[in-house]
Amino acid sequence: MSTARKSSKVTPRMRPASSDLLSERELRGIIATVLRLAKVTGAEETEVHIDDVNDALTRFANNAIHQNVAERGITVSIRTVVDSRTARATTNRLDEDSLRAAIDSSISLAHRQPRDPRLLLMPGKQNYRPVRRYFQNTARITPQDRARAVRRACDLAIKHGQVAAGIFSTGLSQSAIGNSRGLFAAYRETHSAFSITMQEPPAASWAKANSADVRAFDTQRLAVRASENAHRAVNAREIPPGRYTVILEPAAVLDLVGFLFYDFAATAVADKRSCLNGRMGTQLFAKNITITDDVYHPLQLGPPFDGEGIPRQHVQLVDRGVPKSLVYSRRSAKAAGKKPTGHGFPLPNEYGEAPMNLVFSGGDSSIENMIATTDHGFLVTRLWYIREVDPYEKVMTGMTRDGLFLVENGRVTSAARNFRFNQSLLEMLRNVELLGPAVRATGEESFEMVVPAMKVRNFHFSEVTKF
Amino acid sequence: MWDLCTLSLDTARTRGATYGDVRVMHHRQRDLTTKNGQVGTLAQSESIGLGIRVLASGAWGFASTGRLTREGVSACAAQAVSIAKASALAKRRDVVMAPEAAYIDSWQSPFRKDPFEIPLETQLALLLAADAEMRRVQGVTLTETDMQFRKIDCWFASTIGSRIHQRKVISGCGIAATSFQNDEIQKRSYPNSFGGQHALQGYELIESLDLLKHAPFVAEEAVLLHSAAQCPEKTGTLILGGSQLGLQIHESIGHPIELDRVLGEEANFAGTSFLTLDQLNHLKYASEIVNVVADARLDHGPGLGTFAYDDEGVPAQCTNIIKDGAFRGYLSNRETAHLIGLNRSSGTMRTEGWNRLPIIRMTNVSLLPGSWDFDDLIAGTDDGILMETNRSWSIDDRRYQFQFSTEIGWEIKGGKKIHMLKNPSYSGITTEFWNSCDAICKFDHWTLWGTPNCGKGQPMQTMGTGHGASPARFRNVHIGAAFSNQ
């Protein structure tokens, strides 16, 4: 549904970033200071997290920039342990008095709770597999670079009598963790995203991409795609709700299957709030569904360690439709007699862990092929406001948005008014007929994952809206 | 703090800003949770920083920093101006702001008991006791409790001469019991789902909610839901409990009246609104008994949308949104007010923190009480379903078509609640729904509910909003679609 035009990838003028992140030496220095102060304050164990962000976002609407922001911030989060009790205190002030106050606060909170016999000693030094997710080309993007790209997109909208809205964000961030048992891990990444909605009243369409490397996507190509689809989306027909074959573009797949991520947490299963309770090892999904959690996948982002500094493992969650494995924090692993997989959240918390880097195996079907093999169905660009209706059957509700197209006899014949769906994800993943290549997908309802486009039969649209 | 504010504004002016406003904000937060009788989260945090918004070359720029040194603040202000000048590369017209007076003021939200002065042991003991009460009930498989306290200081200054300090104290708590049986998960929460009730109050809010008293009932209902009848799919009469109605107001009135959405400024993310400018003073939004206000004044109550001044330095106001069923007003700011014929902002610019730009937000968007006693409302309903406590919520990006489900329902026959229903849901079109309202309960049943987790903006901001509501009745509503499988 998109047409390539002259490439306009954003390449920054070579100049230093306006404000860089802390160096590893500075990170280690802050951690060493906290550990020193905590030791003399009486903490038996201490863990320090540092988050360091330098982000910027240019927002546009009505064919002009209307918001344009930048943020620079560092937080230091300190967890102490005293007598099998632990608590966390966080500050964004880096002077010794403030760090000492945060340590005192953490120890004071820890002291005033019951002992936790399940609390584990902090982990010692770990080995990490390196990942490269920091690109100078992204770090050096300036507000002027973003504004020029936005201007080109808005000019395109004006040329076609449309109205553009969206964002162009770039940034750099890092996180580090160190503890009193000698563990130290640090990770830095750059990130960039361009999202655009083209409105041709009463229709609209949307396109979005993100990457650690701003050169991985072409902002103007995304604008062209949204513009063309917005034009196709005018004169939408009202079609009765019902069960239909749907072709879900990757963003639509992502925003649905993203709601499954916490079900693979061992703690969620132990708490009996996972849809996988009593279903592990069964043929729950179609045989063409294989899901892994893999932070090392080349299309993934995020640190290769978890909230306690444990290295993330590659975990095969679903093998040809059968849920095989869960992810474990150190605590849930011990309770289950398993090894931790490096997916724990920072302690203390009640949720345990979750896979944050889901990768679905894809197929080789193009969206064009999915359309060509569909007698009667819909092509879905994007979904919106998805919420869980039934946690065990994993029924989700939500709306189609920004481009719903009727497919008849192997081709797109018109736009359609948006539907509400009430659809079980378990049923949906049993009804997948075709898969596209897995891509890094980005939407607005879920964090980014690697998922394919899907052709799904019997998708349940329950009601229709007015546009 | 005022020195930092002055320095940043002076720097911005020197660099070419024609307007600027700055917020130094200090957030303190305490979070406590329990799960299955064990402490879950136990954390305290503080964050202090400065955010400055400027107009330069007719366009906006914003920058923020946690580095509160003279060098850090000056650099931040200069960066904001530089960003504004970059914005001007893609502007269509210069920003024009409605006039506003300058204010020198200091305000603190009233509270009786500072939650940060209450011993942590007391707070944890209450949560663990409520957790234990719920776990006494056989069939409960998961118990959860939470408390959250925030203290926010904001020093606001602008180039028109305002210097306003505000301190807000916010408290919240809730409990929930979950039961997994026979391939079904059922859950009950008190006093509301998704974190409970939150308000601009001190620890007195927690004490007033009497978690211990309600814990056994919450747990028992979670278990009983398994054996309850399934809510049928039909078109019929619906009575909504106050907290669910609060969320209905939030989604189908509060968001559509945000003027930035109406004007397309949220088109890429939060969406737009069916309330186009031509609808103002023309649309029959609701039945004649429906009156809705957006009221940020303390007179309205200690809501999450209560303040003395918004984050643009405009005093708190009460705006008629729906008057006798007619659509009368939007939520506006100094930049958009003139577009609806106003010469002044309605005072709804709010920011999550020092590192976020103020944007138009709900304040307390409330349905004013009606005249019904709740018992009379039930007695006066021959055939209907009462639904209470939200379980899921969803609405389209122009705020027409919605679907909500609740934790529990009750079938009403012949003026009596006759039995419990599980998996209740309802759906509809916003204006059709509100025009079907034929009864609203009186002030005795009215609560100013707090929604602490409203997401909007890019980068995303989470904001607390208030929604006063008492139970109300709606006719000819589509019930049960969420669990139909046609």
Task: Give the pLDDT of residue A20.
Answer: 84
Instruction: State pLDDT tens for residues A58-79.
Output: 999 999 999 999 999 999 999 9
Position A5 pLDDT exceeds 90: no
- Please report which confidence band the pLDDT of residue A9 belongs to, taking 50, 70 and 90 as the band edges: low
8 Å CB contact between B405 and B423: yes
CB atoms within 10 A of CB B207: 15
Q: Tell me the shortest Cα–Cα distance from B178 to chain A, in angstroms.
A: 8
Amino acid letter for position B420: M
Answer yes or no: do B49 and A92 touch at CB < 8 A: yes
Q: Please, what is the average pLDDT of chain A?
A: 95
* pLDDT of res. B228: 98
A118 token code pair: 């399940």
The beta strands (E) that lie in B287-382 are given as 292-295, 318-323, 326-327, 349-350, 359-360, 365-367
Ranges in chain B, pLDDT < 70: 486
CB contact under 8 A, B458 and A105: no
| A328 Cα to chain B: minimum distance (Å) | 17
Tell me whether B38 touches chain A (CB under 8 Å). Answer: yes
The percent of residues above 70 in pLDDT, for chain A, comes to 96
Task: Give the largest Cα separation in chain B, rounded.
Answer: 73
**Closest residue in B to A268 (Cα–Cα):** B142
**Whether the predicted pLDDT of A14 surpasses 90:** no
Q: Which residues of B touch A68 (CB under 8 A)?
A: 59-62, 83-84, 86-87
Q: Summarize pLDDT for A178-214 with one digit per residue, the tens.
A: 999 999 999 999 999 999 999 999 999 999 999 999 9
Q: Which pLDDT value is given to residue A6? A: 43
| Unique residue bearing structure tokens 């799960």 | B35
Rounded Cα distance between A62 and A351, Å, is 42
Tell me what percent of chain A is helix, strand and coil, each rounded to the nearest 5: 25, 35, 40
- Measured CA to CA, the distance from residue B367 to residue B294 in angstroms comes to 9
Say yes or no: A442 contacts chain B, CB-CB below 8 A. Answer: no
pLDDT per position as a tens digit, B377-407: 999 999 999 999 999 999 999 999 999 999 9
What's the pLDDT at A10? 61
Mean pLDDT for the stretch of residues A163-173: 98
Instruction: Give chain B positions within 8 Å (CB) of A163.
Output: 264, 267
A-contacting residues of B 167-196, CB under 8 Å? 178, 180, 183-185
A69, A273, A466: residue with CB nearest B357? A69
User: Nearest Cβ partner of B459 from A57, A102, A398?
Assistant: A57
Contact A212, A192 (CB under 8 A): yes
Average pLDDT (A286-311) is 97
Does the CB of A148 have a partner CB in chain B at under 8 Å?
Answer: yes
Peptide bond into B191 cis (omega under 30): yes
Cα B269 to Cα A402: distance, rounded to the nearest angstrom: 11
pLDDT value for A2: 35
Q: Does the N-terminal peptide bond of residue A348 adopt cis geometry, omega within 30 degrees of 0?
A: yes
* Burial state string for A382-408 with b = 16 or more CB within 10 A and e = fewer than 16: bbbbbbbbbbbbbbbbbbbbbbbbbbe
Q: Which of A70, A196, A462 sits opposite B63 (nearest CB)?
A: A70
Which segment of A148-152, A274-278, B340-344 scores lowest on mean pLDDT?
A: B340-344
DSSP per position, B341-370:
T-SS--S-EE-SSTTS--EE---BEEEPP-
A427 interfaces chain B, CB cutoff of 8 Å: no
d(CA A288, CA A360): 10
Identify the pLDDT of residue A13.
47
**CB < 8 Å from B in window 285-344 of A:** none
